[in-house]
Amino acid sequence: MTKCGAFWLKKDKNGKAFMSGIIENDSLPSTEKIPVVVFKNKKKESEKQPDYLMFLSEPKSQKEDDVPF
């Protein structure tokens, strides 16, 4: 297996859990690290829908409670 990133468990100011992390791939020429956040899919209605959703991380100036789910 090839490591392609890392995540940390965090809580927002309301106690809602989420993961914050980076996506990276050491086997590619670019050494760019892409910041992302992962949230539990609260709108999951069937087994065909994902359990978690990953988004590109917004700058820290955005309010955490602006998350649309």
- DSSP code at position 26: T
Query: Rounded mean pLDDT of 36-49?
Result: 94
Work out the average pLDDT over 41-60: 90
User: What's the pLDDT at 4?
Assistant: 86
> pLDDT grade, residue 11 (50/70/90)?
very high
- Report, as an integer, the average pLDDT of 1-22: 90
Average pLDDT over the chain, rounded to an integer: 84
d(CA 50, CA 67): 17
Contacts of 44 (CB under 8 A, 6+ apart): 50, 51
Write out the two tokens for 68.
Answer: 């649309």
Instruction: Report the pLDDT value the prediction gives residue 3, as an integer from 0 to 100.
Output: 80
Largest separation between any pair of C-alpha atoms in the chain? 40
Mean pLDDT over 27-39 rounds to: 84
DSSP summary character for residue 50: -
